Amino acid sequence: MTLPALFIAHGSPALAVESNDYTHFLNQLGDRLPAPKAIVVFTAHWDCPEPSVTMDDTHQTLHDFYGFPSTMYTMEYPASGQPGLANEICALFTRSNLAHQPIRGRGLDHGVWVPLLHMYPEANIPVIAVSVDSLRTPQEQYDIGRMLEQLRHDDVLIIGSGGTVHNLRLLGNTDEPQEWAVEFDNWIGERLQQWNTRELFQYEKKAPHARTAVPSYGTEHIAPLFYAMGTADMSRSAKRLFQSYPYGTLSLNCWQFGDGV
């Protein structure tokens, strides 16, 4: 069985306790997909130069945020790890001569467990987190994702967790989408659907409002998009499954890559 890859905007950590159209969509998405044997998440909240891979049998739940309701700091997502699959990921990186780091004891950051809490609330599917490197080019990020493409053909769900428009300094007081945010997302979306990597990899120069949508201090949030996209290089199909703009500018979108189930 082949599973699609996903790019999921994880939004605010408060998504963990919210009930809205997006959380309902994530609930339904988890129900719609065949149960994977494991989940691999490229997370925007783990940014380091060499790809790092969690090797643990069990994970702690990281509450890597501040200023939120106290109940959120007691929430747990007790998914297990899968060291065998983590070793396979490392072997695929080695095969491509990519330096990487196996990591133990890190835990799952909110970019991993918050969306999975809605998709798979029972936490009964093993999870492996993989870091991103925001300083690499989109082409390099895509190529790293491509190294893991074969996992999708073996019941592994690969997710890039981040956000396309993720400028926290420009959050508004209304959910009415801001025109500039929509224009940026639409530009990205058109090129995803065309699989126009030539322009997409130059989004910083070519996309409207790119500097506003993806500020220099926040490039790690769009990076998972390219990692996830790369894992569907053979089929090269993209479909937007959801889009909304809480606070007017925080893009909550989900993209499916590949021809999987």
Q: Are 257 and 231 in contact (CB under 8 A)?
A: yes
Residue with tokens 């224009």: 183
Q: What is the Cα–Cα distance from 91 to 136, expressed in whole angstroms?
A: 21
For residue 178, what is the domain's CATH number? 3.40.830.10
Q: What is the Cα–Cα distance from 65 to 118, expressed in whole angstroms?
A: 19
- Overall domain count for the chain: 1
Backbone angles phi, psi at 149, to 5 degrees: -55, -35
Give the mean pLDDT of the chain: 97
Q: What is the Cα–Cα distance from 159 to 221, expressed in whole angstroms?
A: 13
pLDDT at 182: 98
What are the angstrom distances between the C-alpha of 145 and each of 3, 130, 221?
15, 11, 15
Tens-place pLDDT, residues 100-130: 999 999 999 999 999 999 999 999 999 999 9
Express as a percent the part of the chain with pLDDT over 70: 99
Residue with tokens 């149960």: 35
Within 183-260, strands assigned E span 238-244, 252-257
Domain range holding 187?
5-257
Express as a percent the part of the chain with pLDDT over 90: 97
Question: Whole-prediction pTM value?
Answer: 0.97
Average pLDDT value for residue range 49-72: 96
Q: What is the Cα–Cα distance from 123 to 222, expressed in whole angstroms?
A: 26
